Amino acid sequence: MASTVATPMSLTSSDSVPLSSPGLSPSTPGQLSPDDVELLAKLEEVLEHINNILLPVHSKCLCLQESIQFNTFL
């Protein structure tokens, strides 16, 4: 059975792939080794940090874009 996993190039700003998606994680936690659990925890921490950085930047870009569009109508 093939599963589709989004690649960075196929994602748009409105796309999100939860870590609990069946295509990304085993169906039972018992299938993860302790090393895998540790790596997954580190990955989640890094992704949270990246989101904390990128979300404010994305919001500022949207505000700037709206400001530019507003000024072109004046």
Q: How far is residue 55 from each of residues 8, 24, 42, 65, 70, measured CA to CA in Å?
A: 16, 23, 20, 15, 22
Query: Can you read off the two tokens belonging to residue 73?
Result: 């109508």
Output the DSSP codes for 54-66: HHHHHHHHHHHHH
pLDDT tens profile 1-14: 444 444 444 444 44
C-alpha gyration radius of the chain: 18
pLDDT tens profile 11-60: 444 455 455 544 555 555 568 899 999 999 999 999 999 888 888 887 88
Domain parsing of the chain, residue ranges: 31-74
- pTM here is 0.41
Classify residue 32 by its DSSP letter. Answer: S
